[in-house]
C-alpha cells in the first residue's frame, strides 16, 4: 500500500507552537488539521479513541508502538464517526485479525482525517509531559513548509473557552436502542437484558455508545437530548433520572449547560461523568482549571476515599474540578487520582447527585468502575 520512498523522505510533519517539528509519513487522508496534541497511554482501543467525541479538537498520539492490527470495525465505534482531528503513531500496521472489516488507513482516508506514522512517539510524549499540552498543526498534504505549520499552530485559537460539545451533540432527541439490538457486545449478551422500565434522559455533550449500553443494561430506557435542551423540556419528559455525559473541550464555555444543571438540582437524581462531572462542579458553585498534559489512558489509579478501594480507570480529559473551589459543606469529594491527587469523584451532601471524572463504561479500558451504573440505578430507585 505504501510508497517506500514516501516513508524514507518523511515529507509530512507535525509542527508544534513552540517551534518543534516532527517529520513523518502520511497513512491517512492527505489533509492538514489544527488541534491540541495529547497522548494516550492505552495499549488497545485505538478504534474507540478515534471515535470518542471527547477527542474533538485534539490530535491524538498513541504511545503503543504498533497500531492497526485489529483494523477498523463498526462494533467497536463509540459514535457514528471519527472525531479526533488526527492520529499520530510510531508504526502503522495493516490489519491481521479475524474481526477486521477494513484497515485504519482506509477508515481515516474515507473520513477525511489525517494520520502520521514514523514519528518518535516516545520523544513526543516526553515533550508533552514535560512542557504541557501544545497547539499543533498536522500536515499531510505536503502543500506548506514546516515553518508555516509552526506559524499556523501559534495563531490557532485553541480549545480554551470553546464550546465543542455543541458541535458533536445530537441535533434532535432520540430513544437509544428501542429494539434492544445495540446493547450487547458483538451481538452476544452476558445475560438477558432487563426490561427498560426506568425512564431517564441523557444529555449528549459527546456521549459514547458504551455509556448508553451500560445504562440500558441497568434496565433504563434512555432518551438522548441535545446539549442545549432546556431543563424545562427535560423535566417535561418526566424522567426518573438525568445523566450528564462526557464531551470535549472547555466546560467553562458551556454556560447554558451549567444553568440547566442548576435548574435540575433537587428535582431529579443526577449522574455525571467526565465533562458532565466538570459541569456539575460549576453548578455546585466551583470552577475548573487545566491539567498540565491531561489524563488520557486506561491505567489511571483512582481511590474511593470511603472504602480505600483502588480502581484502575479509563480517562480522557484536559480539565479538572478545582477541589479548593468546592463548598465542602455541600459537596463531598469521593474519589481522588493517586497519581496527582486531583478530584475524580464527588457527591452532593443534600441531593441525589454524584459524578466521576473518569469513564466507567470502559471503552477502552478495565471494568473496575462498571458498578457506578448500578449505583445510579439504586440512587434513582431510592429517590
Residue 354 has pLDDT above 90, yes or no: yes
pLDDT given for residue 44 in this prediction: 87
> What torsion do the CA atoms of 33, 38, 41, 46 make, to the nearest 10 degrees?
-20
pLDDT, tens only, 283-303: 999 999 999 999 999 999 999
Provide the pairing of β-strand 58-62 with 32-40: parallel
pLDDT given for residue 181 in this prediction: 87
Cell of 78: 463509540
- What number is the average pLDDT over the span 313-326? 96
- What number is the average pLDDT over the span 30-34? 98
Distance CA 65, CA 82 (A): 21
3-state secondary structure of 356: strand
Cα–Cα distances (Å) from 103 to 271, 295, 325, in that order, read 37, 28, 46
pLDDT, tens only, 49-81: 999 999 999 999 999 999 999 999 999 999 999
Q: Which of 244, 198, 218, 201 is nearest to 356 (CA)?
A: 244
- What CATH code would you report for 165-382? 3.40.50.880
- Enter the pTM of the model: 0.95
Which residues form the catalytic set?
A: 274, 359, 361
pLDDT band (50, 70, 90) for residue 192: confident
Mean of the per-residue pLDDT values of the chain? 95
Q: Is the fold of 4-155 the same as that of 165-382?
A: no
pLDDT given for residue 255 in this prediction: 98
* Diameter over CA atoms, the chain: 65
Distance CA 308, CA 263 (A): 33
For the chain, what percent of residues have pLDDT higher than 90? 91
pLDDT given for residue 7 in this prediction: 73
Q: Given CATH 3.40.30.10, say whether it is the number of domain 4-155.
A: no
For residue 197, report the phi and psi dihedrals to the nearest 5 degrees: -100, -10
| Structural domain spans, the chain | 4-155, 165-382
Cα–Cα distances (Å) from 346 to 129, 277, 323, in that order, read 27, 8, 10
pLDDT, tens only, 108-155: 999 999 999 999 999 999 999 999 999 999 999 999 999 999 999 999
Cell of 30: 492527505
**DSSP class per residue in 249-311:** S-GGG-HHHHHHHHHHTTTS-EEEETHHHHHHHHHTT--EEEEEEEEEEEEEEEEETTT--EE
Handedness of CA 48, 50, 52, 55 (dihedral sign): positive
Amino acid at each position: 500500500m505504501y510508497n517506500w520512498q514516501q516513508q524514507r523522505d518523511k515529507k509530512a510533519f507535525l509542527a508544534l507552537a513552540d517551534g518543534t517539528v516532527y517529520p513523518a509519513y502520511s497513512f491517512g487522508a492527505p489533509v492538514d488539521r489544527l488541534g491540541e496534541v495529547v497522548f494516550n497511554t492505552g495499549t488497545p482501543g485505538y478504534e474507540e479513541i478515534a471515535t470518542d467525541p471527547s477527542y474533538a479538537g485534539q490530535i491524538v498520539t498513541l504511545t503503543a508502538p504498533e497500531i492497526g492490527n485489529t483494523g477498523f470495525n463498526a462494533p467497536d465505534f463509540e459514535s457514528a464517526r471519527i472525531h479526533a482531528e488526527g492520529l499520530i503513531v510510531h508504526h502503522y500496521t495493516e490489519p491481521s485479525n479475524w474481526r477486521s472489516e477494513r484497515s485504519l488507513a482506509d477508515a481515516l482516508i474515507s473520513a477525511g482525517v489525517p494520520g502520521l506514522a514514523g514519528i518518535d512517539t516516545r520523544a513526543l510524549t516526553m515533550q508533552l509531559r514535560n512542557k504541557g499540552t501544545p497547539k499543533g498543526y498536522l500536515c499531510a498534504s505536503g502543500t506548506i513548509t514546516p515553518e508555516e505549520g509552526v506559524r499556523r499552530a501559534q495563531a490557532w485559537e485553541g480549545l480554551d473557552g470553546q464550546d465543542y460539545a455543541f458541535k458533536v451533540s445530537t441535533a434532535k432527541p432520540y430513544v437509544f436502542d428501542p429494539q434492544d439490538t445495540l446493547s450487547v457486545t458483538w451481538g452476544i449478551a452476558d445475560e438477558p437484558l432487563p426490561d427498560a422500565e426506568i425512564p431517564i434522559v441523557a444529555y449528549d455533550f459527546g456521549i459514547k455508545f458504551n455509556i448508553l449500553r451500560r445504562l440500558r443494561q441497568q434496565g433504563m430506557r434512555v432518551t438522548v437530548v441535545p446539549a442545549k435542551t432546556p431543563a424545562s423540556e427535560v423535566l417535561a419528559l418526566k424522567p426518573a433520572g438525568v445523566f450528564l455525559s462526557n464531551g470535549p473541550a472547555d466546560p467553562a464555555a458551556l454556560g447554558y449547560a451549567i444553568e440547566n444543571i442548576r435548574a435540575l438540582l433537587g428535582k431529579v437524581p443526577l449522574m455525571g461523568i467526565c465533562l458532565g462531572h466538570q459541569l456539575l462542579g460549576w453548578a455546585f458553585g466551583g470552577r475548573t482549571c487545566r491539567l498540565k498534559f491531561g489524563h488520557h489512558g486506561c491505567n489511571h489509579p483512582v481511590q474511593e476515599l470511603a472504602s480505600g478501594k483502588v480502581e484502575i480507570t479509563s480517562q480522557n480529559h484536559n480539565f479538572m474540578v478545582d477541589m479548593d473551589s468546592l463548598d465542602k459543606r455541600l459537596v463531598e469529594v469521593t474519589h481522588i487520582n493517586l497519581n496527582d491527587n486531583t478530584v475524580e469523584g464527588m457527591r452532593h451532601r443534600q441531593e441525589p447527585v454524584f459524578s466521576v471524572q473518569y469513564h466507567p463504561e470502559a471503552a477502552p479500558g478495565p471494568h473496575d468502575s462498571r458498578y457506578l451504573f448500578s449505583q445510579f440505578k439504586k440512587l434513582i430507585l431510592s429517590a
